[in-house]
Amino acid sequence: MSQREELVWRRTPETTQERVQRHISYLFEDAQTAGLTLLEFGELIQKFVMEAALELEGWNICRAARLLGVHRNVFSYRMRRHGIRRPHGMPRGGQQQCRCGRMIGAPALAAHMRVHARRGEVRILLPRNSDRFEYRWLREPTKVVA
C-alpha cells in the first residue's frame, strides 16, 4: 500500500467490519474478566453477530441468513437456541403499517386500500408506465379498518 493510500485509509470513517471487530474485542475482554470458556465465548459471539445481522436487515431472517452465508432454517434454529426474538412491535418481514394503524401484508394490501377508497379516504391510481398501484391519501383515516 502506498503512503497516499495509507493516509486515505486512516481518514475514512470506521467500516462495519472494523466496528464489529472493535465490539468483539470488547466482548473478549469482558469474557476474560468473567472467566468464560472458549466455547461460551464462541456462543456469545455467535449471538452478537446474529443480532447485528438481523438489525442490519430489518429483522428479515432470510436476508440476515444470506448475509452470514447460512441457510435460513439453520439461522432460525440458532435464533431459538440463543433465545433471540423479534422486538415487540417490530413488523414481520413483508408487512407495513397503514396510516389507520393496522399491519398489512403484501397480499392483503390491495383489498385493504379498496376499503379506504370506498370510504373516500384514498384515491387509487395506476401510473401509465408501471404495473404497480399508487395510493393518494385524500384525508386521514378515522379508525382501524378490517
The answer on pLDDT for 136 being more than 70 is yes
Residue 51 placed within a domain: yes
In this structure, is the dihedral angle defined by the CA atoms of residues 31, 35, 41 and 43, taken in order, positive or negative?
negative
Q: Angle of helix 38-56 relative to helix 61-68, nearest 10 degrees?
A: 130
Report pLDDT for 52. 84
Residue 146 placed within a domain: no
The answer on pLDDT for 71 being more than 50 is yes
Q: Note whether 62 and 106 are same-domain residues.
A: no
| CA–CA distance, 136 with 122 (Å, rounded to integer) | 6
Considering 58, 82, 106, which residue would you say is the last residue of a domain?
82
Q: Note whether 17 and 42 are same-domain residues.
A: yes
Backbone angles phi and psi of 12, in degrees to 5: -70, 150
Long-range Cβ contact pairs of 21-24 (< 8 A, separation 24 or more): 23/48, 24/48
Which of 92, 99, 88 has its CA nearest to residue 144? 99
| CA–CA distance, 85 with 82 (Å, rounded to integer) | 9
Name residue 95's beta-bridge partners: 105
Say how many domains are in the chain: 2
Q: Note whether 75 and 114 are same-domain residues.
A: no
Domain that holds residue 118: 95-137
Compare 20 and 25 and report the one with higher pLDDT: 25
Q: Note whether 11 and 78 are same-domain residues.
A: yes
Lowest mean pLDDT among 23-32, 49-58, 63-72, 134-143: 134-143
Q: Note whether 51 and 19 are same-domain residues.
A: yes
Only one residue has cell 415487540, namely 88
29: left (phi over 0), alpha (psi -120 to 50) or beta: alpha
End-to-end CA distance of the chain: 62
